[in-house]
């Protein structure tokens, strides 16, 4: 049976609220995800929260009922609470109906099996949580195996990144590594490292990409460091016809990832 919490001073409320800060996520090894859509995507991907909070006025929503049953069956805890407490937990004026507390799941590179997917996304020193979450969402759509975070990337388990991923966080493997670790792992197996760069004349549609393709995107403001670019098997860029000299990092990653996907699929005839 769900228990009820109505007091702001409840120790669990206090501890969960701290998960909005990276330091506490690392200490607790947990993170927050909010919203029926994202928690349901997580469930469908086989990921259950350790604890689920839901608004008392949504207790009969079929998706809430399903989530609560699944959490309790797995030995987790379901907590019925007020919108005010959900507001306090999420920090949002208009809080979602449900909020889940999940265990973090960053992998070491050695745990990735590159043969399971033809595309892998690699981000270096990405700073914007919205970009990171959006790249996870794109990775899910193009059938990527996961996202490898190089150097000092923004936390993929931040509330903003989780939200922008729209649940794809739970379908994509996430690994973190330094650049030397990544290069050593990459060169220990098959794979083509393709860097997105503004310092090249190679059009992104010219090459035929080899699987597994590792798409490397650099920091939003700086792009890839020169020595990282030098390690790539290919550097490519999209045409840019306007006055601006670059694309948003998540957009560039998506345009590139769809090119790789498109080269490997048969386009259905027009109906």
State the residues that interact with its own copies by CB under 8 A.
41, 44-45, 130, 134, 137-143, 164, 166-168, 171, 201-203, 205-207, 238-244, 246-248, 250-251, 254-255, 258, 261-262, 265, 267-271
Q: Which of 229, 219, 175 is nearest to 199 (CA)?
A: 229
Inter-residue contact 54 to 64 (CB < 8 Å):
yes
Between CA 46 and CA 154 the distance in angstroms is 25
Nearer to its own copies, 28 or 246 (CB): 246
Nearer to its own copies, 79 or 196 (CB): 196
Cβ at position 228, least distance to its own copies in Å: 20
Cβ at position 168, least distance to its own copies in Å: 5
Cβ at position 209, least distance to its own copies in Å: 12
Cβ at position 240, least distance to its own copies in Å: 4
Between CA 154 and CA 124 the distance in angstroms is 10
Provide CB contacts within 8 A for 181, sequence distance 6+: 109
Nearer to its own copies, 84 or 152 (CB): 152
Nearer to its own copies, 227 or 269 (CB): 269
């Amino acid at each position: 049976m769900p228990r009820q919490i109505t007091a702001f001073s409840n120790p669990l409320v206090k501890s969960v609220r701290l998960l909005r800060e990276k330091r506490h996520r690392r200490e607790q090894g947990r993170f927050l995800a909010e919203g029926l859509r994202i928690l349901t995507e997580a469930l469908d991907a086989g990921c259950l929260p350790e604890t689920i909070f839901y608004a008392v006025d949504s207790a009969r929503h079929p998706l809430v009922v399903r989530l609560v049953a699944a959490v309790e069956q797995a030995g987790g805890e379901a907590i019925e609470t007020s919108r005010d407490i959900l507001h306090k937990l999420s920090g949002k004026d208009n809080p979602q109906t449900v909020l889940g507390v999940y265990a973090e799941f960053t992998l070491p590179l050695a745990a990735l099996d590159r043969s399971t997917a033809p595309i892998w996304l690699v981000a270096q020193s990405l700073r914007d949580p919205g970009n990171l979450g959006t790249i996870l969402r794109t990775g899910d759509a193009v059938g990527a195996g996961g996202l490898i975070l190089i150097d000092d990337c923004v936390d993929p388990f931040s509330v903003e990144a989780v939200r922008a991923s729209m649940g794809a966080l739970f379908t994509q493997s996430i690994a973190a590594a330094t650049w030397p670790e990544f290069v050593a792992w990459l060169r220990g197996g098959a794979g083509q490292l393709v860097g997105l760069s503004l310092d090249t004349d190679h059009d992104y549609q010219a090459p035929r990409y080899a699987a597994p393709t590792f798409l490397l995107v650099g920091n939003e403001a700086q792009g890839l460091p020169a020595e990282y670019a030098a390690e790539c098997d290919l550097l490519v860029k999209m045409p840019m016809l306007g006055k601006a000299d670059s694309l948003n990092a998540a957009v560039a990653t998506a345009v590139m990832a769809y090119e790789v996907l498109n080269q490997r699929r048969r386009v259905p005839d027009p109906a």
